[in-house]
């Protein structure tokens, strides 16, 4: 007991600031160059957000001054709306304080830790506060020094002076140690160059220890602000449903669903009653003697048919897994859909390929559904066919009314039982949202995700736009340029996103290496460049998954080509708090991965046509030069055969070759 008491003597509570002080690498402060770039990133994106919120074209000045060995002073100044003085300690001194985390809207940052992280890092390396100069344009300029109380996770005002003057905007002035500056690919210079391309309406002036550089705007119009969106029913979790229920002002669960979620109308709530009835009837017959009959009434997919047809090509454990998923329905329906996708594609291949071809790929049929689909989509299917197959799996279950009618026909449920269930469901939907429990919330989420809803509204997304990306990439002076903004889609069932890509070839495109220009991948999320964690990022993997040799490049790496990718979403699936890599691939957020591939392949076709024309013209020119070289010899020989003047024949040959 003494040991236990001593153990809990050491038990302490820690603030979020204390956590990040000991884990600063999670905020991007790992390595001297990366730390410098992270500081610039956090301050510049805050400045851009401030300007765009106020519908002002951003003019941002960045000054990097070397004070000593690995010791720098950084100043970032903008012409934004300014910060009211009472909010300055919260913006720069309090972790997880901000205006974005609680809103479903596209934004560069959401956690509310960026600016506070800059102050924390400055304080940890120099012990000095940040100097903030700000004004909202009301004639009073506030000069403040802010430190962070780490134990309290609060900003403390060290000093606060005011003076009169006409100024609007914010200037952040801080000193930092354990950082370094260079113009390498992952440094602040490259970051500012790239963010000027992804935000073409901004003007950024960099004054570094070497010189002053202007990244001028190429677009002179402030983009429209994205609008806040309601959560989509396909993207909501049980925990989020309970949170909405606790916070709503609606007095009934039915009205809460239609007022707090997008695409849910009063009519759809009535339809929801049938889905709940379906799931309650499924629950009633689970583990019963009649379960196989119930499943026949519930599923449109006949898995036994597929097992009988090509079961010998499948792994026995897979068949067992599918049967277990069927036993546990409706839970596990999303996993069952992936197996169904595999089987309908397999059925298609068995009808298309001969026996020898089937034998050649027999090992592919034993793969997990996601790996099998990835292989087949590359080897045998085009994008249109894949879309058709994915549409089919949406209808793996029968409509609720059809399911209920089937049970009635089989005399498995009486009219009295149905009426009893319906009354209970109506009572649930009329109940106070604040009183629903986890099981009821889980039931609601399950049926909502099984219903068909229109895709989420895209009012919360604001792409850069084809024309603006085109203007940005024209600064590379390429010989070929193609951009594409794809229509918004959803991932994880209901989170909206859109993909924008651009391909610049020739000129100053690509990154300059010792052996010439090589492929350059510019990754962006919500218009912000991602410079680090390249190999672990799904955007990089999506670009490299494209076979670029098919599009005219003789090498995937040694080519003067810049590939620009921008992912926009209300929620970017970063791999860590450092926000430098995105989680997407064939097994995670596959929708994003596929959209990037499709967009790049569409642009790649135009690139292939361009390169083919250039190569054909070069080949013709080489042939022409070769023939011209021997024109005189050819004319002399032809003259002796035809007995015509040599000069006349030579003149005609030259005329034909022009």
Asked whether the beta carbons of 112 and 46 are under 8 A apart, the reply is no
What span, in angstroms and rounded, lies between the C-alpha atoms of 260 and 502?
37
Top-ranked range on mean pLDDT: pick from 329-333, 459-463, 515-519, 564-568: 564-568
Other C-beta atoms lying within 10 Å of the C-beta of residue 260: 19
Q: What is the pTM of this model?
A: 0.74
pLDDT in tens, 637-652: 777 788 788 787 777 7
pLDDT higher than threshold 50 for residue 101 = no
Beta-bridge partner residues of 567: 499, 525
pLDDT higher than threshold 50 for residue 363 = yes
What span, in angstroms and rounded, lies between the C-alpha atoms of 176 and 125?
6
Mean pLDDT of 182-197: 92
pLDDT in tens, 197-209: 999 999 999 999 9
Mean pLDDT of 432-445: 93
pLDDT in tens, 396-407: 999 999 999 999
What span, in angstroms and rounded, lies between the C-alpha atoms of 460 and 229?
6
DSSP state of 353: S
Collapsing DSSP states into helix, strand and coil, what is residue 528? strand
What span, in angstroms and rounded, lies between the C-alpha atoms of 633 and 636?
5
pLDDT higher than threshold 50 for residue 221 = yes
- Length of the chain, please? 658
pLDDT higher than threshold 90 for residue 435 = yes
Mean of pLDDT over the chain = 88
Asked whether the beta carbons of 198 and 48 are under 8 A apart, the reply is no
Residue 102 banded pLDDT, cuts 50, 70, 90: very low
Helical pair 303-310 and 316-327, crossing angle rounded to 10 deg: 170
pLDDT higher than threshold 60 for residue 1 = no
Name the residue among 66, 63, 1, 60 with its Cα closest to residue 32: 66
pLDDT value at residue 579: 82
The residue ranges of DSSP E strands in 514-606, in sequence order, are 516-518, 520-525, 528-530, 561-569
């Amino acid at each position: 007991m003494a040991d236990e008491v001593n153990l809990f003597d050491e038990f302490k509570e820690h603030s979020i600031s204390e956590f990040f002080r000991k884990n600063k690498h999670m905020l991007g402060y790992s390595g001297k160059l990366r730390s410098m770039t992270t500081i610039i990133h956090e301050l510049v994106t805050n400045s851009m957000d401030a300007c765009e919120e106020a519908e002002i074209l951003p003019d941002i000045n960045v000054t990097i001054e070397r004070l000593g060995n690995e010791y720098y002073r950084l100043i970032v100044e903008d012409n934004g709306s300014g910060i009211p003085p009472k909010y300055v300690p919260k913006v720069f001194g309090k972790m997880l304080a901000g205006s974005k985390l609680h809103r479903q809207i596209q934004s560069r940052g959401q956690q509310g830790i960026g600016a506070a992280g800059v102050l924390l890092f400055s304080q940890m390396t120099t012990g000095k506060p940040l100097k903030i100069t700000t004004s909202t344009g009301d004639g009073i300029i506030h000069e403040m020094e802010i430190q962070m109380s780490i134990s309290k996770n609060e900003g403390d005002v060290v000093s606060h002076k005011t003076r009169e003057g006409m100024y609007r905007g914010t200037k952040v002035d801080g000193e930092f140690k354990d950082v370094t500056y260079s113009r390498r690919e992952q440094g602040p210079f490259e970051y500012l160059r790239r963010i000027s391309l992804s935000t073409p309406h901004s003007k950024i002036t960099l004054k570094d220890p070497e010189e002053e550089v202007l990244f001028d705007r190429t677009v002179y119009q402030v983009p429209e602000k994205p609008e806040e969106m309601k959560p989509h029913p396909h993207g909501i979790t049980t925990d989020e449903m309970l949170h909405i229920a606790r916070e709503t002002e609606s007095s009934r669960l039915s009205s809460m669903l239609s007022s707090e979620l997008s695409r849910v109308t009063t009519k759809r709530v009535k339809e929801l009653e049938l889905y709940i009835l379906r799931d309650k009837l499924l629950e009633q017959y689970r583990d019963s003697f009649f379960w196989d009959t119930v499943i026949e009434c519930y599923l449109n997919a006949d898995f036994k048919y597929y097992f009988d047809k090509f079961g010998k090509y499948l792994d026995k454990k897979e068949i067992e897994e599918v049967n277990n998923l069927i036993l546990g329905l409706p839970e596990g329906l999303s996993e069952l859909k992936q197996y169904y996708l595999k089987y309908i594609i397999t059925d298609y291949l068995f009808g298309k390929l001969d026996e020898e071809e089937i034998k050649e790929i027999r090992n592919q049929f034993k793969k997990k559904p996601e790996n099998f689909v990835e292989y087949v989509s590359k080897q045998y299917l085009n994008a249109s066919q894949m879309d058709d197959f994915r549409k089919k799996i949406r209808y793996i279950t029968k409509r609720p009314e059809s399911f209920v009618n089937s049970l009635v026909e089989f005399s498995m449920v009486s009219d009295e039982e149905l009426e009893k269930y319906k009354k209970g469901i109506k009572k649930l939907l009329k109940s106070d949202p604040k009183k629903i429990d986890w099981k009821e919330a889980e039931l609601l989420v399950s049926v909502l995700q099984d219903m068909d809803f229109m895709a989420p509204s895209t009012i919360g997304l604001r792409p850069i736009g084809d024309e603006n990306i085109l203007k940005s990439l024209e600064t590379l002076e390429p010989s070929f340029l193609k951009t594409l903004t794809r229509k918004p889609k959803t991932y994880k069932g209901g989170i909206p996103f859109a993909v924008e890509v651009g391909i610049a070839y020739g000129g100053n495109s690509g990154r300059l290496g010792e052996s010439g220009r090589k492929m350059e991948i510019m990754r962006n999320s919500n218009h912000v460049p991602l410079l680090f964690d390249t190999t672990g990022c799904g955007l990089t993997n999506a670009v490299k998954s494209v076979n670029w040799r098919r599009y005219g490049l003789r090498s995937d790496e040694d080519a003067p080509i810049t590939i620009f990718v921008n992912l926009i979403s209300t929620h970017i699936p970063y791999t860590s708090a450092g926000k430098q890599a995105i989680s997407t691939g064939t097994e995670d957020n596959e929708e994003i991965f596929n959209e990037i591939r499709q967009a790049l392949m569409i642009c790649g076709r135009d690139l292939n046509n361009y390169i083919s024309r250039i190569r054909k013209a070069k080949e013709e020119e080489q042939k022409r030069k070769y023939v011209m070289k021997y024109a005189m010899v050819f004319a002399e020989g032809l003259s002796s055969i035809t007995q015509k003047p040599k000069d006349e024949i030579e003149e005609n040959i030259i005329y034909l070759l022009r």
